Structures are given as C-alpha cells and as structure tokens.
Copies of this chain bind each other. A is one copy, B any other.
C-alpha cells in the first residue's frame, strides 16, 4: 500500500511532454526546416525537399517528428501536403528572443 504522489506524477507528465518537444527541436535539420517554413509560410513537401536538399523520405521523417509535437501543422490538398509553422506553439515553448529566429519579420 502506497500513497499516490500526485504532484510528482503531474510533474513527470510535464517533463515527458517537454522532453518530446525538445527532442523535436534538438536537430539542426529540423530547426532549418522550421526556419524555412517560417520564411516561406505554407509549403509543400516537394518544394521544401528542394530547399533543404534532402531526399523526400528523409524529409517526411523529420516533418512527422515536428508534426507529432505540434510545432508544425499539415494541410492536404490532393496529393500535396502543405506544412506550416505553428507559431502559437513556438511562442509557447521558446523565449521571444529565440522565437525571433522563427519570425518572418526578424
């Protein structure tokens, strides 16, 4: 019989959530992708692949990682998938100083 450590459990959940988000951010290629999405707005995979010079399957892999933690969003039109930076989520996680990296205006 043990007591339920409520606060610790909820902290643990919080740490889990942020671990996933930071993992997604912890990669140069993905930071570059986010930067490009920020600069160009909604962009389809094939255009993005050209911009980053990355094979399509590899790019899809990295986009999925960013999508799964809600740092980017996806909209499908026909066979095209358009990805976009989730500015709200970026603002929620990063300092305004850092967010600046992911703002078209800066």
Q: Could you list which residues of chain A lie within 8 angstroms of chain B, going by C-beta atoms?
A: 11-12, 14-16, 18-19, 22-23, 25-28, 31-32, 35, 91-99, 101
Q: Which residues of the partner chain B approach A97 to less than 8 Å between Cβ atoms?
A: 92
Q: Are A98 and B28 in contact (CB under 8 A)?
A: no
Q: Most chain-B Cβ atoms within 10 A of its Cβ — which of A25, A92, A97?
A: A25
Q: Smallest distance from the beta carbon of A89 to chain B beta carbons, Å?
A: 10
Question: Whole-angstrom distance from the CB of A27 to the nearest CB of chain B?
Answer: 6
Query: In the complex, which residues of chain B have a beta carbon less than 8 angstroms from the beta carbon of A11?
Result: 32, 35
CB distance from A98 to the nearest CB of B (A): 6
Closest chain B CB from A68 CB (angstroms): 14
Smallest CB separation, A24 vs chain B (Å): 8
